[in-house]
């Protein structure tokens, strides 16, 4: 299949346009979506989000801060891609990634690129972005590496397999302002530490931490983004 062959709103794409059932949620207000992409890049080009039959909107996908919020209808799935020229020269929507939508009225969409170009595809990971689920003082750890990651942050222990994420609320140390962060990876059937530091804890800021393998050195790295909630 040619990499730019049209999706042309196949049956699978149409399924994404069926509104999701949201008990207790007011559907007229729609959903507020913010976007963040990884690996980090300088001024990444925008993507398109499918928001209706044959209808898309352009969305920014920054890597060092969250995008602005986009108000869209609640759908059954979030589908990202780009409009390209089809074999007949007419514009068609090329799908690059999709995920089942959450029922939350506020969602953060994490986009992890699978290759150097957008046409290589994206892993699409929706996160509940409501206050109380992911707000100030909390850390989201996303494992974009190829090994299990274990951590201990502010007394909270966790394990994140590749392609998964977890939200943690660390407890501050004796000074009330910082906590200790220690991370391990699984290698040769045992846990090996690779990062240890003291991090600030700010109640009006949340953090997103990506674990990944540096493409040049193959070493395990982390990329941290802070987002102030007030």
> In this structure, what DSSP letter does residue 92 have?
E
pLDDT of residue 171: 95
pLDDT of residue 6: 39
What sign does the dihedral 131-144-209-57 (CA atoms) show? negative
Order of strands, edge to edge, in the sheet holding 139-143? 165-168, 139-143, 205-213, 220-228
Q: For tokens 């049209």, what's the residue?
A: 6
Task: Report how far apart, in Å, the C-alpha atoms of 70 and of each of 49, 53, 100 are.
Answer: 10, 18, 18
CA separation for the pair 152, 39 (Å, rounded): 24
Classify domain 11-21+28-128 by CATH architecture. Sandwich (2.60)
- Quote the pLDDT of residue 76: 95
- Output the pLDDT for position 3: 39
Q: Where are the alpha helices (DSSP H) in 60-171?
A: none
pLDDT tens digits in sequence order for the chain, 230 residues long: 443 333 333 434 444 544 443 333 334 579 999 999 998 888 899 999 999 888 999 999 999 999 999 999 999 999 999 999 888 888 899 999 999 999 999 999 999 999 889 999 999 999 999 888 898 999 999 999 989 999 999 999 999 999 899 999 999 999 999 999 999 998 777 889 999 999 999 989 999 999 998 878 888 999 999 998 76
Tell me if 199 sits within 8 A of 138, measured CB to CB. Answer: no
- CA neighbor of 158 nearest in space, from 143, 178, 173: 143
Confidence (pLDDT) at 72: 97
Q: Looking at the chain, which residues constitute the CATH 2.60.40 domain(s)?
A: 11-21+28-128
| Residue 146 contacts residue 162 (beta carbons within 8 Å) | yes
> What span, in angstroms and rounded, lies between the C-alpha atoms of 173 and 182?
14
Task: From 95, 107, 113, 145, select the one nearest 20 (Cα to Cα).
Answer: 107
Contact criterion met (CB below 8 Å) for 85 and 25: no
pLDDT value for 1: 42
* Cα–Cα distance measured from residue 230 to residue 228, given in angstroms and rounded to the nearest whole number: 6
Query: What integer pLDDT is reported at residue 181 of this predicted model?
Result: 96
């Amino acid at each position: 299949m040619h990499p730019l062959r049209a999706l042309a709103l196949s049956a699978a794409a149409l399924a994404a346009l069926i509104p999701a059932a949201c008990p207790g949620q007011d559907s007229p207000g729609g959903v507020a979506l913010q976007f963040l992409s990884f690996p980090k890049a300088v001024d990444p080009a925008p993507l398109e989000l499918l928001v209706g039959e044959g209808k898309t909107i352009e969305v920014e996908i920054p890597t060092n801060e969250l995008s602005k919020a986009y108000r869209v209808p609640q759908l059954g799935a979030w589908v990202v891609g780009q409009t390209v020229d089809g074999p007949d020269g007419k514009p068609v929507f090329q799908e690059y990634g999709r995920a089942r939508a959450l029922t939350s009225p506020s969602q953060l969409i994490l986009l992890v690129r699978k290759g150097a170009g957008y046409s290589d595809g994206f892993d699409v990971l929706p996160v509940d972005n409501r206050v109380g689920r992911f707000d100030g003082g909390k850390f989201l750890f996303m494992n974009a590496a190829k090994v299990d990651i274990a951590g201990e942050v502010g007394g909270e222990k966790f394990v994140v397999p590749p392609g998964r994420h977890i939200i943690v609320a660390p407890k501050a140390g004796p000074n009330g302002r910082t906590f200790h962060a220690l991370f391990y990876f699984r290698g040769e059937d045992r846990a090996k530490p690779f990062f240890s530091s003291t991090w600030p804890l700010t109640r009006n800021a949340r953090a997103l931490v990506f674990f990944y393998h540096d493409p040049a050195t193959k070493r395990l790295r982390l990329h941290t983004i802070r987002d102030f909630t007030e």
